[in-house]
Every structure is written in C-alpha cells, then in structure tokens.
Amino acid sequence: MQQTSLPIRRRALVLGAVGAGALSLTELARAQQKFINILTGGQSGVYYPMGVALSQVYGKALPDAKVTVQSTKASAENLNLLQAGRGEIAFTLADALSDAWNGDKDAGFNTPLKKLRAVAGIYSNYIQIVASAESGIKTLADMKGKRISVGAPKSGTELNARAILKAAGLAYGDFAKVEYLAFGESVELMKNRQLDVTLQSAGLGVASIRDLATSVPIVVVSIPADVVKKVGDAAYQPAVIPANTYTGQTTDTPTIAIKNFLVSHEGVSADAVYAMTKSMFDNLDALVAAHNAAKGIKRDAATTGTVVTFHPGAEKYYREVGLMK
C-alpha cells in the first residue's frame, strides 16, 4: 500500500498544478489584485467625480477587487503615493508626470519616480484664471498687488501657476497675498471678498468656477499666445475657453491647455491594468455623464504626450486596437 500511495499523491499534485496552470492570466490577476485605490484630487475639481465614475466601471471589470476612491491634493501627491505603492491608479497633469519621472526637486520630487507607468493620456486641463469683476482685474498685469489663490502647495495647479506667472513676468512676491488652497476653498474666499483672483487648472465647466460665476460677477482673464511661448514647455499648448462656458463669460478666452494622464505603477498586475484600460474606453459615456470634460478623452490620443514608460497591461490593449506595435 505504501508503494502505491506515494505515486498517487504525486499524481494528484501534478494534476493540481496542471489545473492551476489552466487558469487564465486574467483570472489569476483578478485573484491577486485585491485592491484598486483611485487617487484623484479635491472634491470640487474634475478628478474626483471622474474617479468615482471610473470606480464603478472598474468594479464591473474587476469584480473580485475592492475599488476605492481617494480625494487628494492631486498630481504631485498622487505620483508620490503611487511610487510608495499607496494607490493603483491616479490622475495627473502631463508636466507633473514629467517632473516626477525626472526627479525635479523644485516640483516636489526628491528622486526620479521610476516605478511609475503611464496608462492613458485623457482630456486636457485648461488654465482658468478667474477674477471677481469688482477687483478691476482684466489682464495678467492687473493681478499685481492683488490677492490670489494658486492651488494646493506643489499640486499640479500650483506648478502650473508658477510657470505661467513667471512667463507673464510675475512672481509670488508681486501679490498682496498668496493662498495655497483647493478649488472650493478658493471660491468661498472670493465669495466673501477675501480673495481677488483664483488660478485653477481643470477641465472646462469645473464645478468650483460654475459655482463662483453664479454667485458673483466674474472676469475670465486671458493668457495670450506670447505668454504660452515664454513658458517654454511642450506640455503647455495654446487653447480657448469657449464663450458661455461660465455665467457672465460672453467671449472666447485665450488660455493654455495641458494634457492629463492616468498613471499606475510597476507593482500593479498587467491584467488588472489591461482590464482598467479597456473598460474605460468601452465606457466613456459613463465618464461623460460624470463630467463634461470627459468628452475630451480620445482613444487615438491616449499614447502620446509623455516620455514615461507605459504599463505592460496598457500596452497590451493599445496593441490590440492598433495604437502600438
């Protein structure tokens, strides 16, 4: 009996191994990828509502994973959290992503964040400089000596503010007061006449500025093409905020657009990222329902605009649809 029982046990082990090997990679990935934490931004911005919409899409694509949405200070914090393995996918601006990849200390990245992996280029942020009409601000030069909010410290918005103000010949020292606040907080101070102007980097029709424009008369300040050129960064492109995007804004307003990205890290399974990438592009209507900015997400533009290495899971999807070889 002892001579026959050992081979039987061995055969059972072999059969078990074969059975496990027969599981698809997707099934294994779903079993292993227990958590998907989506890193977004402030709740009054665009990242957060879009992240909530993505969580519902991802939940169906990865039914065995627990999908959560985390409100953060946006781009820079998101990238540092990803590098530390404290999130699986995040929103970020293209310039912050480049700074993180290269380890720009002034932008808040002490070392190059080489664990980051690009997933998709999505919609563009528009730099929206909005002043209260009673402040008298009509141009960038008029902002000198005024009270401004430039976004959370070292957020993507604040990095944008530094670059644009410098190109316009302004520095933080030129203002009567500089606040480092999230979009919603900035708007509340403007309503209470404690601030004159806010710079917000977000999709068109962002809730915070809609709220402000329906509460007090506003002026959307132009960023001329010559200022865009002086920024000297290919991530910054001339753009227009169409007339009537906000109450009281009756003309087209020249500005700057910067592409947003979804980013993951090398520790997230390829099949999980593949499922997230595919499900997003298969369900863009759900994102548009969450925020109008999602209309700017185009699959054909998903693989351009960054030098950061793409995640193998995203690459698999883009090869399937003919965007990568």
**CATH number of the domain where residue 289 is located:** 3.40.190.10
The β-bridge partners of 37 are: 68
Instruction: Let me know if residue 216 belongs to a domain.
Output: yes
Domain boundary among 210, 235, 258: 258
Task: Count up the domains in the chain and report the number.
Answer: 2
Instruction: Let me know if residue 49 belongs to a domain.
Output: yes
Q: What is the 3-state secondary structure (H, E, C) of 107-130?
A: HCCCCCCCCEEEEEEEEEEEEEEE
Asked whether residue 160 falls in the same domain as residue 239, the answer is yes
Asked whether residue 87 falls in the same domain as residue 159, the answer is no
pLDDT of 7 reads 43
Instruction: Let me know if residue 34 belongs to a domain.
Output: yes
- Phi first, then psi, for residue 167 (nearest 5°) are -65, -25
In tens, the pLDDT along 227-280 reads 999 998 888 999 999 999 999 999 999 999 999 999 999 999 999 999 999 999
CA gap 75, 296 in Å, rounded:
19
Domain boundary among 258, 285, 308: 258
Asked whether residue 51 falls in the same domain as residue 76, the answer is yes
CA atoms within 13 A on the CB side of 7: 3
Instruction: Let me know if residue 3 belongs to a domain.
Output: no
In tens, the pLDDT along 153-168 reads 878 899 899 999 999 9
Asked whether residue 293 falls in the same domain as residue 235, the answer is no
In tens, the pLDDT along 191-223 reads 999 999 999 998 899 999 999 999 999 999 999
Alpha carbon 30 to its chain centroid, in Å, reads: 25
- Residue 233: which domain range? 125-258
| Mean pLDDT across 103-109 | 91
Instruction: Let me know if residue 215 belongs to a domain.
Output: yes
pLDDT of 99 reads 93
Asked whether residue 143 falls in the same domain as residue 69, the answer is no
Instruction: Let me know if residue 11 belongs to a domain.
Output: no
Strand 35-39 relative to strand 89-93: parallel, antiparallel, unpaired?
Answer: parallel
pTM of the model: 0.81
Of 32-36, 62-66, 82-86, 114-118, least confident by mean pLDDT is 32-36
